[in-house]
Amino acid sequence: MSSESFIQNKAAAAIAALYGANIAPQEFQVSVTRKEFDGDYTLVVFPLLRISHASPEATGEAIGAYLKENVPEIAGYNCVKGFLNLLLSPVYWDETLKELALDKSFGQLPSTGRRVMVEFSSPNTNKPLHLGHIRNNLLGDSVSKILAAGGNTVIKSTIVNDRGVHICKSMLAWKKLFEGKTPESTGIKGDHLVGDCYVAFDKMYKAEIAELVAGGMDEEQAKKEAPSIKEAHEMLLKWEQGDPEVRELWKMMNGWVYKGFDETYAALGITFDQVDYESNTYILGKELVRKGLETGVFERETDGSVWCDLTADGLDRKLVLRGDGTSVYITQDLGTAERRFANFNLDSHVYVVGNEQDYHFQVLKLILGKLGFDWAKQIYHLSYGMVELPAGKMKSREGTVVDADDLIQAMYEEAKKTSEESGKLTDLSDEEKDKLYHVIGLGALKYFIIKVDPKKTMLFNPAESIDFNGNTGPFIQYTHARICSILRKAAEQGIVFGADDITNDIEPSAKEIRLVKLLSLYPAKIQEAVDGLSPAILANYSFEIAKEFNQYYHDTQILKEPEAKLLKYRLQLISVLAATLRSAMALLGIELPERM
């Protein structure tokens, strides 16, 4: 039982005894006491005045006095206007720690019975994954894990954007400029080779534009008349017509990219339950457009194009089908959403997509609602800010991106350098060191990105992320390794401990009570992260635990405690703390090593 539930139940009993009124425990408003006031949890008194017929202060005083007199776990209270601050006793926190130690499902909330799909990554097959994709993938994967811990059945999905003129640009550049080169012949990872083609196309295209402008053509017209862009559009048309040669080239180059993506996903620890391809889904939604025309949701223009008028909703008119009958992105997304809710029996769907698409998802939800789908209200856009570098924004066409593979390797090298400088790994084998460097490097990368609220634009600094001090992944990893070292030494000394060693005759220190309080908040923090779709909540909660432990460790010689009972209590406390850190960080996709 959570502390909030405990106080709600006791408050319900107090109201029944004092005023003869029966109120359901869940009706009481209880929250953690604000730091500037004395107490552990605060009960809001104002809603009870209709029962007490007394002032807020008198009502709070009466309830507080009753609880202190009749509930052993309530050590004291104070009332500030309509807020009753309650101080829980050491006995309560001992019982809480024992419950946490015995709870094998701690960190897993009860089942909600809900099925949720989370779509993330959704890359284009004309370039490798970069730093922006990393934020998307890490958010999507972590949100999926958090929703599952929140009691939901989660399906992780991605849609690969494997068709379109941007794909044809890479294909055309390969045909014209790359002389049959392959990943095998060049030793270049497949998605990188295709990305090189995309950059090469842009250079070729810009040179053509410059030549046309130099010849007297207007720049906007030159962008349309450049030979390479015309050829790219012709290639797309051939693809849509099923031209065998174009289709074969498309399959070959996409195959290179898929293999490259899989290697990057594996390095990041990312997996998917459902993979869709735009080449299969781009025609979805046309049937919905037909139905929408019949029901008056859409209207057809004289040129044959189909639109949805959203001006009454504060937006504008939205194209859903071109005059030549071809789909646009919103058409595909309408059809894909309908198919997913039907095929997977979804209760809700979360799209992890950058904030530049906020308008798109407003439109998507509105149109689906107008088409009669009640589940449109259960579509959520996890809108996140861009990742920027000290040098500014990244541009794929110009090749000014931070490549995901290069970044992962750079983080490995930084972790290796920092760890070797510490001189604490001399007794590990080369294989063990190599694995540890990967764990530290990825932990630093993931935590640095995830600790920032998703809605915020962030500046990525690799050097700051690998720091073993401060609010970083390696700091939390090192804290866990330090706890594991203490527990190993205890085992070497033959000290055996368990939950039964936590007894009411132990007087924990203020710092120990503070740690137990923090640990008891874990389920509530998971729920908060679920409600906000924000892994940052768990990241910063983990840092707070690690910071509190290190202050405790600095002041407490855990293994030198002369009294056996208190020694075992402390070992049990830090054991639960380590387990909670492992659980919370695992929801962020971060592994905690036992040695560093």
Q: What is the pLDDT of residues 450-460, one digit of tens each?
A: 999 999 988 87
Q: Of the residues 386, 416, 444, which one is the last residue of a structural domain?
A: 386
Does pLDDT of 238 surpass 80? Answer: yes
Asked, for residue 593, whether it belongs to a domain, the answer is no
Which structural domain range is residue 275 located in?
115-386
Domains contained in the chain, number: 3
pLDDT (tens digit, 9 = 90+) per residue, 344-402?
A: 999 999 999 999 999 999 999 999 999 999 999 999 999 999 887 665 444 444 445 68
Segment among 131-135, 385-389, 516-520 with least mean pLDDT:
385-389
Instruction: For residue 289, give the CATH number of its domain.
Output: 3.40.50.620
The closest of 370, 353, 290, 300 to 132, measured between CA atoms, is 353
Asked, for residue 106, whether it belongs to a domain, the answer is no
Residues 348 and 216 in one domain: yes
Asked, for residue 595, whether it belongs to a domain, the answer is no
Residues 16 and 151 in one domain: no
The closest of 288, 304, 350 to 118, measured between CA atoms, is 350
Residues 373 and 416 in one domain: no
The closest of 111, 530, 157, 153 to 345, measured between CA atoms, is 153
The closest of 414, 454, 436 to 588, measured between CA atoms, is 454
CB neighbours of 521 closer than 8 A, spacing ≥ 6? 32, 541
Asked, for residue 202, whether it belongs to a domain, the answer is yes
Token representation of residue 169: 């640009």
Residues 277 and 166 in one domain: yes
Lookup result for tokens 């600790």: 451
Residues 160 and 21 in one domain: no
Residues 82 and 227 in one domain: no
Asked, for residue 152, whether it belongs to a domain, the answer is yes
Segment among 72-86, 317-331, 480-494 with least mean pLDDT:
317-331
Question: How high is the mean pLDDT of the chain?
Answer: 92
Q: Of the residues 355, 386, 417, which one is the last residue of a structural domain?
A: 386
pTM over 0.85: yes
Rounded Cα–Cα distance for residues 581 and 592 (Å): 8
Residues 150 and 19 in one domain: no
Residue 401's pLDDT is: 67
Asked, for residue 96, whether it belongs to a domain, the answer is no
Lookup result for tokens 């720049």: 219
Residues 176 and 292 in one domain: yes
Residue 351's pLDDT is: 98
Amino acid symbol at 184: E
Asked, for residue 249, whether it belongs to a domain, the answer is yes
* DSSP one-letter code for 403: B
Residue 361's pLDDT is: 96
pLDDT (tens digit, 9 = 90+) per residue, 281-306?
A: 888 899 999 999 999 999 999 999 99
Residues 330 and 440 in one domain: no
Instruction: For residue 459, give the CATH number of its domain.
Output: 1.10.730.10
Token representation of residue 355: 């904030």
Comparing 393 with 530, the larger pLDDT belongs to 530
Q: Report CA torsion sign: 293, 297, 302, 303.
A: negative
pLDDT, mean of residues 248-264: 97
Does pLDDT of 577 surpass 90? Answer: yes
Comparing 459 with 243, the larger pLDDT belongs to 243
Residue 391's pLDDT is: 59
Rounded Cα–Cα distance for residues 91 and 402 (Å): 53
Does pLDDT of 200 surpass 70? Answer: yes
CB 233 within 8 A of CB 165: yes
Segment among 379-383, 410-414, 517-521, 547-551 with least mean pLDDT:
410-414
The closest of 87, 53, 91 to 67, measured between CA atoms, is 87
Comparing 388 with 53, the larger pLDDT belongs to 53
Asked, for residue 195, whether it belongs to a domain, the answer is yes
pLDDT, mean of residues 209-227: 95
Residues 379 and 490 in one domain: no
Residues 422 and 380 in one domain: no
Comparing 465 with 73, the larger pLDDT belongs to 73
Residues 9-19: b if buried by 16+ CB within 10 A, e if exposed: ebbbebbeebb
Instruction: For residue 14, give the CATH number of its domain.
Output: 3.30.1360.70
Residues 216 and 332 in one domain: yes
